[in-house]
Amino acid sequence: MINKNIEGRSPSSIEKFFLHLHPSKIDTRAIKFNRTFGLGGVCALLFVILSLTGLLLRFSYIPTVEHAYDSILGLKYNTIFGQFIRNLHHLSAKFLIVASFLHLVRVYYSQSIFNKRGENWIYGLLMLFLVLASSFTGYLLPWDQLAYWAITVITQIIEYIPFIGHSLAYLVRGSDTVDGNTLLNFYTLHTGILPLLFIFLMSMHFWLVRKAGGVALPKRDEIQKVDVIPNLVSKEIMLASIVIAALFLIAVFYDAPLLDQANPLKSPNPSKAPWYFLGAQELLLHLHPFFSAVIIPFATALFFFGLPYFKYNNLNIGVWFNSPLGKKITIQSGVIAFVFTFVLIYFLEHFLHFDLWLSNWPSIISTGFIPVLLYVVPVAIYLLFWHKKHQANRTELIMACTSIILSSYISMLLISLLLRGEGMLMIF
Amino acid sequence: MKLNRRKFITRLLVAVASIEALFLIKGSVNKVASASATNNLFNAGKASSFDTNKLYPFLTGQFFLKRFEDGGFLAMSFKCTHLGCVVNTNSQTGGFNCPCHASQFNKFGEVLSAPATRPLDYFPITIEKGELLIDTKTPIRRSSFDKSQLTYV
Ligand code: HEM
Ligand code: FES
């Protein structure tokens, strides 16, 4: 099949290389759309589109404080299809964040991250970090008010890390404030180092998927296999076409934003971080920085990197949500965490002013420890309830924790994005 | 434990890389070296030209110069200590308001309302031949205001 196609022509080496990303035969269950939703493939496609449009943008972009903004204007007004290319790049970057997040959700909840796949989960998390870092470094390049103040706000968050915070922020910015050095740093990372790392990690990622024997599937005695060409490849081409068509269509009507040129002397009101970091910024509004910038991010990262390696007792690899109970607990804890986070933030904003009530206590307790307890204690009671009442075991409880973390972050992100106006105050 | 050649070389490389990383974190990558140190000082003009109990914004130097009743000078950075936005003056309190997340500071730069957790940084002032020289490159952190932060003629 692979060596001879319909016209009897043997495939070229380049074709063979691409064909070797897949095995020649594959389990029918693996190519069902609702096994992977094609999300990994969509991520790869978006990366390719980003690389191509990015290379084109490099022909007109000038990474200096004097010219960066003007070069974007030049692209917009004096270059044929300039704005369109920029829109494509902008949209693909947005979609890549969403797609890689959904891909993470799918591999996690389909229990595809254990044993041999554990290593690939780590590579995946590193790629997620790269996706965010790429978006973040790209965000600064237009050098408009949006870019300048978003990067200012985020690099200031780094300063809250004890001991090394200031040096680290200085290293990232190349300076005390966001300026030409920062632009140079970000440009180098965005168009050089990060894409290169990405290509390396992606190659490893694909190789490890194949090494683990393809996508994870529930154990079964009888396995039905079909040819990858045309069964899988035709589906991939179809999905890719739909994604590309949608991107092109949206890029015609939706312009990537560009505000006034950056003015370091005037902050817009409100100054928000890039949308995918808004959850983190929201946390910083309510919690003492030692918790919101140090303990919670590090604990969460540790938890996610550890996920494949915790002790589990009844893993059903490849089974969605592990068990019917797992499905129930995931959905319920996700919904409850979303609402609970919202309600807690609403109360912290309007009624619970621990910083004023306990003004002679150290702020790490009044605005740190107490709000954290307000969140953690109900969550712990909730998990205990599942354990006692429904005999949820370790596997399901850890799954509930993951759902609670993801859902709370989304809740905070949406609050910050949609419900905060001037002075970052809630609009109701 | 035995140290063979491979292990030795690996460890050597790791050590060199760590030291390099440490220096990078400590000192960063220096992009421009300035020829003379005096460049860093911002000259605000004659000390006698400033009235007491008044606030003078120096946007290009990124600071507010306050002269208090007793004639003491304080140069406060205009960067909010919460997340680095530029604070505005508030004529009612005589202090500063941040447009970004609504922190408020009093006339000494101390926090009136959160989310900021520490007062505005200040810059060292030296007075030479009656002229105020402000070192805008070295902001000084503080946890509250006290008299020693003021500079007198
Ligand atoms: C952002 C760039 C990424 C690309 C291009 C990518 C690509 C892929 C592809 C093509 C697959 C094959 C199955 C599928 O399509 O779902 C896959 C599987 C996998 N990915 Fe990703 N991925 C990316 C990010 C991530 C992230 C963020 C994670 C999680 C932290 C992750 C973890 C995994 C795991 C564990 C598998 C194996 C799943 C299984 O065997 O069923 N990947 N990836
Ligand atoms: S930056 Fe001033 S309050 Fe957040």
Judging contacts by C-beta atoms under 8 Å, the chain A residues touching residue B100 are: 149, 153, 267, 269-271, 423-424
B6 touches chain A (CB under 8 A): no
Statement to judge: residues B78 and B127 lie in one domain: yes
B118 touches chain A (CB under 8 A): no
Statement to judge: residues B80 and B11 lie in one domain: no
Statement to judge: residues B66 and B5 lie in one domain: no
B54 φ/ψ angles, rounded to the nearest 5 degrees = -135, 155
Question: Which ligand has the minimum distance to the alpha carbon of residue B98?
Answer: 2
Q: Chain A residue with minimal CA distance to B136? A: A176
Statement to judge: residues B34 and B49 lie in one domain: no
Helix/strand/coil for A143 = coil
Tens digits of residue pLDDT in A286-322: 888 788 888 899 999 999 999 999 988 888 888 889 8
Please state the length of chain B.
Answer: 153
Tell which residue, B119, B142, B123, has the closest CA to residue B132. B123
Q: Tell me, what CATH number does B51's domain have?
A: 2.102.10.10
Statement to judge: residues B60 and B120 lie in one domain: yes
Statement to judge: residues B52 and B119 lie in one domain: yes
pLDDT tops 90 at residue A428: no
- A170/B28 touch (CB, cutoff 8 Å), yes or no: yes
Judging contacts by C-beta atoms under 8 Å, the chain A residues touching residue B29 are: 171, 174, 185
- If one counts every other C-beta atom within 10 angstroms of the C-beta of residue A143, the result is 26
* Residues B8, B14: Cα–Cα separation, whole Å: 10
Q: Name, in order, each residue with C-beta under 8 angstroms of A296's C-beta and a sequence gap of 6 or more.
A: A283, A287
Statement to judge: residues B2 and B64 lie in one domain: no
CB contacts under 8 A, A 206-235 vs B, are none
Q: Which whole number is the average pLDDT over B27-50?
A: 66
Beta-carbon contacts below 8 Å between A and B: 72
Statement to judge: residues B25 and B47 lie in one domain: no
Indicate if ipTM > 0.90: no
Topology at the third CATH level for domain A17-268? Cytochrome Bc1 Complex; Chain C (1.20.810)
- Give kind and range of the element (H or E) at residue B131: strand B131-135
B80 φ/ψ angles, rounded to the nearest 5 degrees = -60, 140
Give the nearest ligand 1 atom to A99 CA: 1
Statement to judge: residues B90 and B52 lie in one domain: yes
A106 touches chain B (CB under 8 A): no
- pLDDT at residue number A6: 54
**pLDDT bracket for residue A2 (50, 70, 90):** very low
- pLDDT at residue number A103: 96
Residue B30 is part of which domain span? 1-39
Statement to judge: residues B64 and B76 lie in one domain: yes
Sorted by where each begins, the domain ranges of chain A are 17-268, 272-428
* Buried/exposed B78-90: b ≥16 CB within 10 Å, e otherwise: bbbbbbbbbbbee
Tens digits of residue pLDDT in B61-110: 788 888 878 878 888 888 888 888 888 877 777 788 887 777 888 888 88
Q: Name, in order, each residue with C-beta under 8 angstroms of A298's C-beta and a sequence gap of 6 or more.
A: none
CB contacts under 8 A, A 339-378 vs B, are 355, 363, 367
Tokens 């408009």 map to which residue? A144
